[in-house]
Amino acid sequence: MSQATLGDDEELFGEAATEMRADVESSLADAWGALPDADDVWETDADNVLGVLNGLNSALEVGDAEAHLRDAKKWFTMGQRADAFDDADDLKAEIADLEAAIADLSRASEQVGDLTSTIPALRGTLEDAGLADDAADDDADEAEE
């Protein structure tokens, strides 16, 4: 193999490594961009608790963030195995941060989902208890008469 070919191969590998890093960074940016906005999670215009919970559950959806994260991890893994990155600690840290954010959103969504199914049942229980109290009060009023 000639020196020119080896030089060309190094140059091509360098270009590929740069493109691979750009792909990882682009996928990470797309993933962060797909996450909900903080205001969407914090603010509400619902009239009752169930409306708040349903709105919050919708706001906690990660959308395409998981798919973009998968793409970033795929290209990052390929680049690491090819030893294409001079310094990939920043990419590794950002991937970990993004995974943590998605996990936090998923956990919060599960908790809100649990509350969304619990609150109506709790309301029914309290309404039934209120009806029982009203009936007991009516019985007590009748007994006094």
Ramachandran quadrant class, 83 (left: phi over 0; alpha: psi -120 to 50; beta: rest): left
| Range name among 6-10, 71-75, 117-121 with the lowest pLDDT average | 6-10
Q: What is the pLDDT of residue 91?
A: 96
**Whole-prediction pTM value?**
0.79
Q: How far apart are CA 117 and CA 21, in angstroms?
A: 44
Q: What percent of the chain has pLDDT over 70?
A: 86
Q: What is the pLDDT of residue 24?
A: 96
Q: How far apart are CA 48 and CA 19, in angstroms?
A: 50
- Inter-CA distances, 133 with 12, 73, 125, 136, 137, Å: 81, 59, 12, 5, 6
| Range name among 5-19, 29-43, 112-126 with the lowest pLDDT average | 5-19
The 10s digit of each residue's pLDDT in 52-87 is: 999 999 999 999 999 999 999 999 999 999 888 888
Mean pLDDT, range 115-142, rounded to an integer: 80
Q: What is the pLDDT of residue 1?
A: 46
H/E stretch holding 135 reads helix 89-144
pLDDT of 120 over the 80 cut = yes
Residue 99's nearest CA partner among 58, 65, 61 is: 65
Q: How far apart are CA 110 and CA 112, in angstroms?
A: 5
- 27 Cβ contact partners less than 8 Å away, ≥ 6 residues apart: 68, 69, 71, 72, 75
Residue 123's nearest CA partner among 64, 50, 60, 57 is: 50
Average pLDDT of the residues of the chain: 89
Q: What is the pLDDT of residue 144?
A: 65
Rounded to 5°, the CA angle 79-83-84 comes to 55
Mean pLDDT, range 25-44, rounded to an integer: 95
